[in-house]
Structure 1
Amino acid sequence: MKRRLQRINLIALGWLFLLLLGATIAPTSSPPPNLLLTTVAPFHSVHWLGTDPVGRDVWASLLAGARATLQISLPAALLSNILGGTLGAIAGYFGNNRLRIAYGWFAALVLMVSGICALMGPLWQSLGLLVVGAVGLSAGLGWLLSSSRWGSNLLSVPLDDMIQALIALLDSIPLLMLILTVAAIQQPSLSGLIALLTITCWTTPARLLRAATLRTVPLQFVMAAEAAGLPPLRIVRKHIWPTIWPVLLARIPLSIALIIGLETTLSFLGVGLPPEVASWGRLLASSRLAPTAWWLIVCPGTAIFLTIWSLQALTKAKSSTLLASTDVTK
């Protein structure tokens, strides 16, 4: 059994290495079309994986699609896990009573968020200036109000309930439907798609890190740090985070696999990426123009399957070892 798992790990690592190598040597844009060689079958003297209905080489399209896949999935997975892990750890440690803020600063914060939401539509073209101005005004208002007797009173912020409510709100909407709706509205771009995937895929890491933090907070070394009077953020950064980070590390490959699946689906439906960017999903979609061109389904489909399978195989092989080495899962 152990040797079988080792062979599976070697196969998965080998495929991911080839994927990274292919993305490195891939062209930066889609291969040019050639209308004289449309829908050429594989094993051609020049196009050994064939061409699509507009004459683009399938091999070059696969390499360019690998580059686009890594350019999107790696940053989006890292950012979403960092965002979700940070929010989950903060929610698990601070709960609903640890974080206290003066009434004056809380009122200024509420007014700032309300003002930005109300003026975002009319001042969309000057959104950056709007945010800077709102932050400056709220800072002055918060300092002024907190100087008063009423504004200096402390208010317990239910941070855990707020983050859990946001997670429940995002999870109540089907993920693909939410991403597809927003991607269809916004202008296609790599950075926009990465931002969209980041703000929609952070909920699962947040739940995992919140649960891990709740199991870590009662431990003696955390209680000793609190008794010593260390600042809460330092306790989270120096004592809790080193204990729970393997949970996030085990989740990252699954996040990459999820984001690859979402990006491929969006590309297949024709949204999310600019037209000049090659994608495995776009290559799959070209099979609708030539239903008999089986290679347009087999080649990108095999690449997608092997990539997602490799990531899941590595996660399954390593997660038990990583989690068993921490107090979180004991």
Structure 2
Amino acid sequence: MKAAAFYTRQPRHWWLAVGWLTVVGLAALLAPVTSSPPDFAQLSQPPFLNTRHWLGTNAQGLDVGQALLQGARTVVGVSVPATLLTFLLGAVLGSLAGFLQNTRWRASPELLLSILLPVALSVTIGPRWLGAQLLLLPGLAVLLWLGGRRAFRGWRGVPVPVDTLVMGMISLLDSLPLLVLVLIAAAVQRPSLSGLLILLSLTCWTTPARLMRAATLQVKALPYAEAAEAAGLPAAQIIRRHIWPNTWQVLLTRFPLTVAMLIGFETTLSFLGVGLPPEVPSWGRLLAGIRQSPTDWWLLAWPGLALVLTILSLQLLTQRK
């Protein structure tokens, strides 16, 4: 009954937004895997003049309609996984900051060594060898932890100011122009889909973390959370059973807006020729074709219209009754 009442209360523009996003999702699923060969007899063909190319062709003779479908798959394949990774990272860090604060967690010296040294090496190396770092640094962390257990046997744990560290990282990232930060990081690394997902996740997690931290502080003060803490339950168990089930709705309301933001970032990076490999079709790369053929208005109209409708639809999803 509640679900039926929810859907019947939604305004017409909400349903239009859902309909358009459904079209984009179907386009992403049904888009051809490989592009058709260029039609050199129909270079820069305007739309609606040829039954083979209803939406026209670009300067290389590639079909714009097919590029739109393949670009929809890139939009969905980048924005949705990146948003999920962003929310996962933000939820973990935000809930830890809100629950542990600055004195609750005492970390052993070997654990601090296994975390801080690989992080310092990663910052020193930079994003150029990101794939190798993801393979080698976790192994280095395990070796440091195993060796530290023998070297620091009998040492007491050190209080870790988790809240201060997380809020410091949030303040640092929020003080920088996000788009400029993403552009600089994308320009210095090798274009790849996995690298772009990791880059967007590591730069856009601050808002979910801030929301989760605030929600965790509210839930932590409730009687059942205080009772679980007084009973001596581990922090991970309290967060998993009592904090996350009562705070996930805070992130749910932010999800469409984050997807819209990441779509904008991916399109901007593709338009500038960074982030994704050149062979990956994208709405941004299709928009960039207008620089070679300024008179081909359809290269700007169709991907621009699809981009505006998608971002606007995601924003309308949050305007529910």
Flag whether TM exceeds 0.5 (same fold). Answer: yes
Q: Which stretch shifts more, 107-116 or 201-210?
A: 107-116
**Cα distance in 1 between the residues matched to 2:122 and 2:15:** 51
Of 8, 21, 31, which residue of structure 2 is paired with 1:26? Answer: 31
Aligned residue for 1:142? 148
Q: Is the 8 A contact 1:105 1:146 kept in 2?
A: no
Q: Is the 8 A contact 1:30 1:278 kept in 2?
A: no
2:314 counterpart letter in structure 1? L
**Cα distance in 1 between the residues matched to 2:266 and 2:130:** 27
1:39 counterpart letter in structure 2? S
Q: Is the 8 A contact 1:89 1:210 kept in 2?
A: yes
* Offset of residue 112 of structure 1: 5.3
* Offset of residue 172 of structure 1: 1.9
Aligned residue for 1:291? 294
Q: Deviations 1:241-292 (Å, cap 9, x if unpaired)?
A: 1110001111111111011000000111111111111111111110112222
**Cα distance in 1 between the residues matched to 2:18 and 2:109:** 54
**Cα distance in 1 between the residues matched to 2:158 and 2:183:** 39
1:43 counterpart letter in structure 2? F
1:32 counterpart letter in structure 2? P
Residue 42 of structure 1 pairs with residue 41 of structure 2: no
**Cα distance in 2 between the residues matched to 1:193 and 1:128:** 14
**Cα distance in 2 between the residues matched to 1:90 and 1:268:** 37
Aligned residue for 2:4? none
Query: Where in structure 2 are the equivalents of 1:5-16 lying within 5 Å?
Result: 5-16=10-21
Aligned residue for 2:79? 73
Identity of aligned residues (%): 49
Structure 2: where are the runs of 5+ without partners? 1-6
SS at match of 1:316: coil
* Offset of residue 308 of structure 1: 0.6
Aligned residue for 1:213? 216
Q: Is the 8 A contact 1:29 1:277 kept in 2?
A: no
Q: Is the 8 A contact 1:30 1:277 kept in 2?
A: no
Residue 280 of structure 1 pairs with residue 280 of structure 2: no
Of 237, 240, 248, which residue of structure 2 is paired with 1:234? Answer: 237
Query: Where in structure 2 are the equivalents of 1:149-298 lying within 5 Å?
Result: 151=155, 153-298=156-301
Q: Is the 8 A contact 2:114 2:142 kept in 1?
A: no
* Offset of residue 124 of structure 1: 8.4
Q: Is the 8 A contact 1:116 1:130 kept in 2?
A: no
**Cα distance in 1 between the residues matched to 2:56 and 2:126:** 49
Q: Is the 8 A contact 1:85 1:206 kept in 2?
A: yes
**Cα distance in 2 between the residues matched to 1:308 and 1:119:** 36
- Alignment CA distance shift 1:220-1:193 (3 Å): same
2:216 counterpart letter in structure 1? T
**Cα distance in 2 between the residues matched to 1:64 and 1:245:** 32
Q: Which stretch shifts more, 217-226 or 123-132?
A: 123-132
* Offset of residue 29 of structure 1: 3.6
* Offset of residue 134 of structure 1: 2.6
Of 55, 61, 65, which residue of structure 2 is paired with 1:55? Answer: 61
**Cα distance in 2 between the residues matched to 1:119 and 1:270:** 24
Structure 1: where are the runs of 5+ without partners? 319-330
Q: Is the 8 A contact 1:96 1:159 kept in 2?
A: yes
SS at match of 1:182: helix
Q: Is the 8 A contact 2:47 2:56 kept in 1?
A: yes
**CA RMSD of superposed structures (Å):** 2.5
